[in-house]
Every structure is written in C-alpha cells, then in structure tokens.
Chains A and B, each alone.
Chain A
Amino acid sequence: MEEKKNLVISAEHLTYVYEDAADAQDAPPAVSDVSFSVEKGEYIAILGHNGSGKSTLAKLCNMILTPTEGRLFILGREVTAEGFSEEDTFDLRAEIGMVFQNPDNQLVATVVEEDVAFGPENLGLPREEIRRRVNGALAAVGMEEYAHHAPHKLSGGQKQRIAIAGILAMKPSVILFDESTSMLDPLGRAEVVSIMERLNREDGITVVHITHYMDEAARASRVIVMNDGRIAFDGTPREVFKNVDQLRALGLEAPQGVELLYELARAGMPHKGDPLTEQECIDALAEMLGGDVCV
C-alpha cells in the first residue's frame, strides 16, 4: 500500500468484460490483464484504434465501470476493495475528472457559468467558494467573457473548454480526456490540447489523454498504445514512435516527420538518433542533406 501513495492510478491485472448477452461468446474482453500505473503530474497519451479498449480503460479509471477482475487503486485507495462504498466513489470522483468526446452531451445548464458551477454545487460548497471556483476555472480556459452565454451557441472547441472548466471547478488532481478532441476542428483541437498542456505544466494536474491523433500523442510525456484490450507499447513518445512498422500493423501511424525519416532510412538514407518533433526532424534532415552536399 505504501508505495502507492504517490501513484494517481495503479492497475494490477485489470480485466473488463462487457456483459452483452448477444456477443458474450465471441466478444473478447474489452480490457484484459492490464497492469500500469500513473504517477502524479504525468502527461500520458493513450493511443489505439477504435475498439482497442482505450475508452473502456478510461471508464474503469473513472469508476463508471467496475473491473471484472484485477485490482485498481486510485490516489492510493483500492477501488476494487470489498468495503469500497458508493460514498467513497462519490468522494474520489471529485478528484478524478473526465472530459468526454461529445461536447454537447456533457453540458447541463443553459448558461455557461451555471454549467461550470454544476460540479461544485453537487459537492455542496458554499456560494462564495463556488463563485471563486467558477471564475477561476473560466479564466483557466480563457472563457471568462462567455460566462453568461448559452452553451449551444458556442463552437465545439469552446464547448469543450467549458466542459474542462466544469471539471476544473471541482479541483481534481487528475483529468481524463476521453477522445475529447476527436469531434473538434483543427482550431478547436489546438485550443483544447494547449489547455491540457498548461494545466499539466502549471497546475501539476495529471493528464490522461485518449486520442487517435498521433501529433497530439507525440506531445505527451508518455504514450501507452492499446491493442485488443492489452498494452502494446508503454514508453516515451520517442521510444514508442520509433516502432513505425509495429504501429502500422496495429492500424496506427507515427507522426509524419518520423514516418518520413523511417521511409528515407529504408531507401538508404539513415539518420542519427530518434528525432520526434518537427524541429528535430528538420534538423536531422538538414544534417543528412547538408552532409551529402558537402561530400
């Protein structure tokens, strides 16, 4: 138990089987025998094609689903323990926020600030505290000027920022983003990702970002790749994305710069190290080409 104190999430042989009678025989477990842990302050991206179990994993971590087998610890408390009650779930949920895919289906109120207040209201906080938190959360996502707007008139990216504010107002230590960028346009995606990064960097909030955009995953400090309910890769983006071949076999791609360097290496132009970011790729290519020109 002691060593789990610093872990935000810790899963041991976690398995979840969907209890859908119709498909019970042929459906593989959505998550099977998964063990991993998340340290405080980490910024993790979970990748995987549709149906790889990544969303199920998130729902388990947020206690929406109860594991079929295995043990799960959240903030050092065992969720799968015998005596873990509904009351305990309620307490923990304020600590572990979740932003969903469809921005429309998570906003409750008809006025932005009242929606942000929804969580703190549920926690039964005093009015002044709610007001402080709402203002703080709206400022954190840059939506103060929209406090009195109706959510349905906002863009997808803005709605998602309101949803994030609603979670922030509960002061969580972890936020799970369950494909929260997948329904957004490039602009909205960029906004949400930059907020995610800022929350992680400046406020020390642990971020778990489930996505199938490789460029988003490449910016995390750690990438977990799911396939058929199991963890296929777990490491820094640099370690994970250099496995271009294996990723392709899993229906995924590496960021384009990495793919380009990989293709060049196959065609007989190798590079040094494991460049990952755009700038690193440019530098590596410049060095390769520059070297050639000089010879």
Chain B
Amino acid sequence: MISDITLGQFFPGFSLLHKLDPRTKLITGILFIVAIFLAKTPLAFLALFLFTVAMILVSRISFSVILRGIRPVIYILIFTSILNILMTKGTSVPLVDFWIIEIYREGIVRAVFMTMRVILLIVGSSLLLTYTTSPISLTDGLESLLSPLSKIGIPVHVFSMMMTIALRFIPTLVEETDKIMNAQKSRGADFTSGSIVRRAKALIPLLVPLFVSAFKRAEELAVAMECRCYRVDKKRTKLVKLTFHARDLLSFLVFALFLAGIVLISRMPASMLGGGFIARLLCYRI
C-alpha cells in the first residue's frame, strides 16, 4: 500500500531537540551542514560522528529509525562510490591496475568521505528538522525567518499558507491515490505490465480522477476558508507565537562552537597528536 510510505516522518516527543524553536533548528541545521563541508580530516569526521550520535541520544529517536532513513539512499551511495573509485585519477601508483580498471588511493578516500558526508547530512538534517519538528512548526519557523522579505513585497505569508495546506492534504491525497488505484484495479485496470507507453496510458484512469478530486477539494476548501473569514490581504494574528528560550541560545552556542571546532580540527597538524601513524592517519587532509 502506498500509505505505508512515510513522508517527512515526524516522531512526536518531548526531548530537548523537540522543544527547540524551529528557527533555532533551521539555523543550527545550516551550521551543521556547513560543518560537514568544512570537515577535512578523519579526526574532524570522528568529531562530527560523535556529535551526531550525541544528537540522536538527546532526541531519543531509536537508531533503527535513523538507519531506516538512510536505507533509501544506499544504492545511490554505492553507485557514486564506485564511480568515485573508478574515475578518480591519483598521482601515486595505482592500488589496482587491471585491464582498463585503475584504482588509486585518492579514489577510495574520496568515496569514503563522500559517503560519510551524505550519511551525516541525511541523519543530521532529518534529526534536527523532519524527525523532531512537526511540518507545521517548520513552516512557521520558515515564515518567521523569511518575514523580512515581506517588506520588499514578497508574500511570505501566502507561501506559508500554501505550504500548510499542502502539508495538510498530502496524507489525504496519498490515501486517495490508493483508493482510486484499488477502484480501477477492481475494474480490471493494469498498472504494472506492458510497455512504457501502455503503462503511461494506464495512468490516465488514476490521474484524471485524482486531479478532478484535488480541484474539487481545493474549491470546497476555498469556500470553507472564506466562510471562516480568511482573506489574503487582511492582517492575521497567530495562536502559536514562536519564542526563543535559554535552550535555544545554548544550542546556538553549542553549534557555533562545534563549527569552529571542526574548522580548527581540520587544520590541526598531525604533529600536535604526537606525529605517529595514527595521528597522521587522523589528520590526513582530503
């Protein structure tokens, strides 16, 4: 069933990460992503890794959920890793030189780091944003952060209302797609076999009703909203006001310090760790 697919899964909870202001999470999320891209050495990655584990522990989201979040991109990761390994030309002697295949150390290193970056990126951003922040508060956060733009005539509020409605109706439409598909299957429609053209044609009985229904919903919703006194041009107030707390300030500090730390660690010479083999390995710059 399509409805089994989770879309931007939010796991309600009361952890520190859940309680943070969405704006804090958006900004610290950006800091974290910047940190990922400024990390240049295995040591820096180790720090990123430990920090991510700490975030997971704080969020009280189970590791199996995190792993499930990575699963969809595994094939892409494997594919790009293979490309990286095969296509990167190094300066040193190839590790493998067989027929037209030449594998250099640089290729392997690049593949490993790239994989780690993507995984950290997915885990970090979904932890901060999707898993612990409800879509609606994320929208509120975005609206609030972008509100200065409304001064130069960009209708931020309208976009945020559109986002809200989209979020509200995604589950409804997913359910509906499922229903229509079942109804047409019950009339002998076949969505899964035949040539591409045939399959594309087979989608018509699914797409037409879906669009018709979506438009009908939009129309009814518009009337219902108007009946509840909604007007685009009118100033609205809000039930939920975003407020920064001490914990938000603290998070900013932690993430800013962490970012600075990553930059420093990435520049740290191996000699500072004693200069041994492990030290050189940890401080190997990509």
A–B touching in complex (CB under 8 Å): yes
How distant is A252 from chain B, measured CB to nearest CB, in Å? 26
Nearest CB to that of A104 among chain B residues? B172
- Whether the pair B231, A122 counts as a contact (CB closer than 8 A) is yes
Whether B178 is near chain A, meaning CB under 8 Å from some CB there, is no
- Whether the pair A110, B228 counts as a contact (CB closer than 8 A) is no
Question: In the complex, what residues of B have CB within 8 A of residue A151's CB?
Answer: 168
Question: In the complex, what residues of A have CB within 8 A of residue B231's CB?
Answer: 90, 122
Whether B238 is near chain A, meaning CB under 8 Å from some CB there, is yes
- Whether the pair B168, A107 counts as a contact (CB closer than 8 A) is yes
A93/B229 contact (C-beta < 8 A), A109-B136, A130-B237 known: yes
How distant is B223 from chain A, measured CB to nearest CB, in Å? 6
How distant is B125 from chain A, measured CB to nearest CB, in Å? 20
- Whether the pair A127, B237 counts as a contact (CB closer than 8 A) is yes
- Whether the pair A167, B228 counts as a contact (CB closer than 8 A) is yes
Q: How far is the CA of A117 from the CA of B236 in the complex (A)?
A: 11
Question: In the complex, what residues of A have CB within 8 A of residue B190's CB?
Answer: none
- Whether the pair B230, A118 counts as a contact (CB closer than 8 A) is yes
Per the CB 8 Å criterion, the residue count for chain A at the interface is 40
Q: How far is the CA of A90 from the CA of B236 in the complex (A)?
A: 14
Question: In the complex, what residues of B have CB within 8 A of residue A109's CB?
Answer: 136, 164, 168
Whether B217 is near chain A, meaning CB under 8 Å from some CB there, is yes
- Whether the pair A114, B220 counts as a contact (CB closer than 8 A) is no
Whether A158 is near chain B, meaning CB under 8 Å from some CB there, is no
- Whether the pair A110, B134 counts as a contact (CB closer than 8 A) is yes
Whether A156 is near chain B, meaning CB under 8 Å from some CB there, is no
Selected from B171, B216, B225, B239, the residue in CB contact (under 8 A) with A117 is B239
Whether B83 is near chain A, meaning CB under 8 Å from some CB there, is no
- Whether the pair A130, B239 counts as a contact (CB closer than 8 A) is yes
Whether A131 is near chain B, meaning CB under 8 Å from some CB there, is yes
Question: In the complex, what residues of B have CB within 8 A of residue A130's CB?
Answer: 237-239
- Whether the pair B234, A108 counts as a contact (CB closer than 8 A) is no
Whether B151 is near chain A, meaning CB under 8 Å from some CB there, is no
Q: How far is the CA of A102 from the CA of B219 in the complex (A)?
A: 12
Contact with A along B248-268 (1 / 0, CB 8 A): 000000000000000000000
Contact with B along A140-154 (1 / 0, CB 8 A): 000000001011100
- Whether the pair B235, A121 counts as a contact (CB closer than 8 A) is no
Whether B241 is near chain A, meaning CB under 8 Å from some CB there, is yes
B residues whose Cβ falls under 8 Å from a Cβ of A = 12, 134-136, 164-165, 167-168, 171-172, 175, 216-217, 220-221, 223-231, 234-241
A residues whose Cβ falls under 8 Å from a Cβ of B = 62, 64, 90, 93-94, 97-98, 100, 102, 104-111, 113-114, 117-127, 130-131, 134, 148, 150-152, 166-167, 170
Beyond known contacts A119-B229, A122-B234: 10 more, CB 8 A cutoff? A90-B229, A90-B231, A100-B223, A108-B225, A109-B164, A110-B134, A111-B136, A121-B238, A126-B237, A130-B239
